[in-house]
Structure 1
């Protein structure tokens, strides 16, 4: 069991609702990696509710609790308990383990004995190739031969650099992990969407390259890497961003719209100074452009059409992220399925 698309999503309300609104065919075509932002003490009823809304009783999802433990090691035993509890309630939830955490607590791998599916995230900038290969073997041994191990070679935040140079760094990881025989699927992931959009010009003229897609294509062209799957961070930069405080900040109205090789950034002025209705104007520009996919394409595209009509609401920062993520997930899963890249 493997997929062509493994989106890494900051598991906030916008992303949760975008996954919940996917139709069955699109949801079945991807494995979301949910970066959980908050854990409760004891049980996890709030997290469980969001996972159920993502149809995890029918389709799998992998949960990564590292954001709760930034700057410290994830307790592998707690991760195993949380995942195990969800699995006993009928949810197809997989654990996500970070390579550096596992290397620091190899004895903790025993908590995943018998685990059917597991995602291992390896960052080449902090895990040497030899250590990554040894760890994949150790995780496979802990899971048992029947388990399915998916390894994400995570390139993290990708700046304005040559995609071929980044691909050359990733190729040995993908090639050697694939050849190891202990890994079900190797995924190349990264995120190049800017951390903020404040520095871009106003209007509809901003086209930002999807560098992670170019890197993945270059990796797949290398010998021994043709089966690598694709992962990205949606319409978000991998680096954490401070929450928006509308009392002190003046974020701009904008739309992040995924195209074949670029994101199309439609940007207006700050909502505090120029108003929320700017967003409706951007939606009108979008839906009247030939690059718009049509209201029936995704839940997000339907909302863009709705916001373009007279008298419609302007939504919120959350719904803007929901609709951009909705379009991106549908566009990308269909793009990969059709080999249209």
Structure 2
């Protein structure tokens, strides 16, 4: 049985996120159950074709999971973004291959499914549970909330499981910070209408206020975004209006939507995403293509002099920020800074949750 204080960050399984997990100490990993999304195959916009085959895309998934997680603590694995028609060259289903890789390495993977997966995907989830007895994760989103009872009942029947074998995730994805009160009231109603409420192995509430881009933050400025998902969760658990306290989940320092734009035409600004008390603090420079990556030296200096900087000993991410500010490392690239911000964020949330006294 997983504990209520476990934190569930939803992470796209890319190099920055992989390195962020790899650099977490075991004490933080033991308090975390990440939901890892295998991303879609990158698109070659110039030739209008996928950059890789599905075999090439998944070739190192077991190796990266073992190196980056390397713990017997459970984690969730979701292949929602892998095309449902894709099969490996030998005919194997991608989910079957990924779970085979985790099984071989002694990793504790829980397959994620939802109401919109096809028959073949659901068959692989059912087969994995029967073989591994690790349970299943139901990930329900807003389109499922209107008929929650029937959608849940259908999944239980289709997958031949009881609620006690299932981790139920209510994923409301993106919420605008100024809509958090309305969202909290909506979620209160959803949480009170869940069938078998006290029978689920674990109940998890997940969402984020992190936007799809940082255009709302001015260049050469320090901005902030309220962590609406964290504020909503805290209000919910202390409201006295819900019977069962859900675990907390978010999308770390990312937006739920996958990045699908042609990178040749993206003018990304240098930025450091830093999690603070009830907010994301955004240290933003100017366009990297025009002004270069050396901006990160100045941005890192701004972080370490900010009153909410946690100090170099707080996390591997914070140590890296200090090193770049001191010009002993860096300047880094987008992958380095995604690793850094994610590593700090996970550490920060685990520490926050450790101070929460559940009613």
Which bin holds the TM-score, normalised by the shorter protein? Answer: 0.7 to 0.9
184-193 vs 103-112, which moves further: 103-112
1:87 to 95, 100, 103: 103
State whether structure 2 residue 66 is matched by structure 1 residue 52.
yes
Summarize the alignment of residues 21-60 of structure 1 with structure 2, pairs less than 5 Å apart: 21-37=23-39, 38=41, 40-41=54-55, 44-60=58-74
**1:73/1:101 contact within 8 Å kept:** no
**1:137/1:182 contact within 8 Å kept:** no
Q: Cα deviations across residues 97-131 of structure 1 (Å, max 9, x unaligned)?
A: 12332799877764345332221100132452222
SS of the aligned residue for 1:49 comes to helix
Task: Report what 2:325 is aligned to.
Answer: 308
Residue 291 of structure 1, CA deviation: 1.1
Summarize the alignment of residues 44-123 of structure 1 with structure 2, pairs less than 5 Å apart: 44-69=58-83, 79-80=95-96, 82-101=98-117, 110-114=126-130, 115-123=133-141
SS of the aligned residue for 2:64 comes to helix
* CA distance in 1: counterparts of 2:336 and 2:157, whole angstroms: 42
Task: Report what 1:319 is aligned to.
Answer: 336
**1:198/1:252 contact within 8 Å kept:** no
Summarize the alignment of residues 263-282 of structure 1 with structure 2, pairs less than 5 Å apart: 263-282=280-299
Task: Report what 2:2 is aligned to.
Answer: 2
**2:177/2:227 contact within 8 Å kept:** no
SS of the aligned residue for 1:294 comes to coil
Task: Report what 1:286 is aligned to.
Answer: 303
SS of the aligned residue for 1:62 comes to strand
Summarize the alignment of residues 65-214 of structure 1 with structure 2, pairs less than 5 Å apart: 65-69=79-83, 79-80=95-96, 82-101=98-117, 110-114=126-130, 115-127=133-145, 128-135=147-154, 137-138=156-157, 142-143=160-161, 148-177=165-194, 179-214=196-231
* CA distance in 1: counterparts of 2:154 and 2:242, whole angstroms: 20
Structure 1, gaps ≥5 residues long: none
* CA distance in 1: counterparts of 2:26 and 2:124, whole angstroms: 36
What TM-score, normalized to structure 2? 0.83
Q: Cα deviations across residues 53-99 of structure 1 (Å, max 9, x unaligned)?
A: 12344222211111113xx5899975355324522431111101123
* CA distance in 1: counterparts of 2:333 and 2:308, whole angstroms: 24
* CA distance in 2: counterparts of 1:243 and 1:325, whole angstroms: 22
Aligned residues, how many?
Answer: 336
Task: Report what 2:253 is aligned to.
Answer: 235
77-86 vs 211-220, which moves further: 77-86
Q: Cα deviations across residues 11-47 of structure 1 (Å, max 9, x unaligned)?
A: 1100010011100100110101000125843994400
* CA distance in 2: counterparts of 1:286 and 1:33, whole angstroms: 28
SS of the aligned residue for 2:194 comes to helix
Structure 2, gaps ≥5 residues long: 42-52
* CA distance in 1: counterparts of 2:186 and 2:85, whole angstroms: 26
* CA distance in 2: counterparts of 1:223 and 1:132, whole angstroms: 24
* CA distance in 2: counterparts of 1:226 and 1:83, whole angstroms: 31
284-293 vs 117-126, which moves further: 117-126
SS of the aligned residue for 1:231 comes to strand
**1:253/1:268 contact within 8 Å kept:** yes
SS of the aligned residue for 1:281 comes to helix
Q: Cα deviations across residues 294-321 of structure 1 (Å, max 9, x unaligned)?
A: 0111111011001111364310110011
Task: Report what 1:17 is aligned to.
Answer: 19
20-29 vs 87-96, which moves further: 87-96
* CA distance in 2: counterparts of 1:89 and 1:311, whole angstroms: 36
Change (3 A) 1:106 1:324: closer
* CA distance in 2: counterparts of 1:308 and 1:340, whole angstroms: 36
